[in-house]
Structure 1
Amino acid sequence: MKEIVRREAAVRACLKRFSGRQMQPGVADCVKLAAHSMHKMGVAVPLLKGVRYRSELGAAKALKEKGFADLVEAMDALGLVRIAPAMAWPADIVAGRSREDGPFAYALSVVHEYGAARTIAFGPDGKCSVGIPDLSHPDTVAWRVAHG
């Protein structure tokens, strides 16, 4: 399958599964969204095997138990190549600053349009939708999700 076709299919699959859904830790959240995109791209996410959580605090605890300080460290451990967010393609993953009142410093999103002009993410209202990410923060990072 051609790369762009696979990427577009992964983005459509993410939209079909998550668009309009309210965030529900362990079921519909940024980690599950990113993992779904990677799975559709043929990339395994072994770090999630056997991991269960039902709250944001439970998710933070599970992350720490796996030995990671934050979601960026966990994504780096998957062996994906870091890229500049502006170089992202559909189905790549972006980590941006999370809301201040949550237990995570970062939140993950799936690139919807080239250059991360738009991403699929859980917004401040807790719903998953396509939006324009703030790529101006210097801590924003992205990873290329290459076909596995």
Structure 2
Amino acid sequence: MARETIRREAAVRACMARFDGKELRYGVADCVRLVGHSMHKLGVGAPLLKGVRYRSELGAAKALKGLGFADLAEAVDALGFVRIGAAMAWPGDIIAGPSREDGPFRVALSVAHEYGAVRTLAFGPTPDGRVICGVGKPDLSHPDVIAWRVAHG
């Protein structure tokens, strides 16, 4: 377990080094790229992202639909990870929280920063209206929060 903890914490540090403080840029610095980077650092492939390109929210929605998914939660489910309670998350696991009322981005993805998803690394609004990546405390009691254990098949 100690080796797994070290590996997961290193993956989270790599995500922070790459994304923390970065402004949202679809296809470059967004929740999907954040989660994909975490998976890569954990040694888990992200085949759904291979060759997928988009540069706008509309482009991201079209790419998601082109892959056959109604929303991001469906896409993560297709990766075959086991759903877990968010409070059971380990660093590097995927957390999806409410983002909008409907549509392909009804949930936004984040990476568990700490055990129990007490804090997550995610893109979110700042007081001045920008959307940047940072560490925050999610509302784990919200009924739309979903979590997945990122693990080798």
The 5 A counterparts of 1:60-71 are 60-71=61-72
User: Which stretch of structure 1 is more off in the superposition, 70-79 or 92-101?
Assistant: 92-101
Alpha-carbon deviation of 1:99? 4.1
1:39 aligns with 2:44: no
Q: Which runs of 4+ in 1 moved over 6 A?
A: none
The equivalent of 1:135 in structure 2 is 140
How many residues in Structure 1 have an aligned counterpart in Structure 2? 148
Distance (Å, rounded) in 1 between the aligned partners of 2:100 and 2:123: 11
Root mean square deviation, CA, Å = 1.6
Distance (Å, rounded) in 2 between the aligned partners of 1:90 and 1:113: 5
Distance (Å, rounded) in 1 between the aligned partners of 2:135 and 2:23: 14
Pick closer, same or farther for the CA change 1:147–1:10 going to 2, 3 Å: farther
1:55 aligns with 2:56: yes
Distance (Å, rounded) in 2 between the aligned partners of 1:15 and 1:55: 23
1:44-64 alpha-carbon deviations (Å, 9 max, x no partner) = 000011110000111011000
Could you tell me whether the CA contact under 8 Å between 2:90 and 2:116 is conserved in 1? yes
Q: TM-score, normalised by structure 1?
A: 0.95
Alpha-carbon deviation of 1:134? 1.3
3-state DSSP of counterpart to 1:127 = strand
Distance (Å, rounded) in 2 between the aligned partners of 1:100 and 1:22: 23
**Structure 1 unaligned residues grouped into runs of 5+:** none
Identity percentage over the alignment?
73
Alpha-carbon deviation of 1:39? 0.4
**Structure 2 unaligned residues grouped into runs of 5+:** none
Distance (Å, rounded) in 2 between the aligned partners of 1:102 and 1:17: 28
The 5 A counterparts of 1:56-95 are 56-95=57-96
